[in-house]
Amino acid sequence: MGQRTALVAVTSVQLAAQVVGHVVALRRRRHFDVPFLTGSPEHLVRDWLWFGTAYSAPPYLLALEVWALGRLLRGPDERARRVLRWLGTGLTSGYLSERCSRVRVRPGGLDPVETPVVVAGWGGAAALAVLAGR
């Protein structure tokens, strides 16, 4: 598998995890909660527009990821690769700072729905950062 093909595959999985994470966060009222700022369940959709949810990034970051994926599907693209490296690094630290994500990967906090979403999203973000950095 070529590097571009692997990057397209990982980006697709990461985007799917973001979409599923958004749906799960909306249904379970999981607002963002990072050390310096916290959202509220009452304003979940409004907060998602600017800060994301507990399990998904804000739409402007997802749009960048979709844009980069589209460019990579057409052929090798250095700018798309750099954008994905930047997004992967940022999303990896975002998952790390999100309280709900940290809880879901601890032994006592495993959830049959939320844990796989967090693992796929976080792992996909880390893989983006690594693959796009080559």
The pLDDT confidence band at residue 100, using thresholds 50, 70 and 90, is very high
* Percent residues over pLDDT 90 in the chain: 90
Q: How far apart are CA 101 and CA 114, in angstroms?
A: 9
Please state the rounded mean pLDDT for residues 64-88.
96
* pLDDT, position 1: 62
* pLDDT, position 45: 87
Supply the angle between the helices 59-74 and 78-97 in degrees, to the nearest 10.
Answer: 150
Domain extent for 25: 3-132
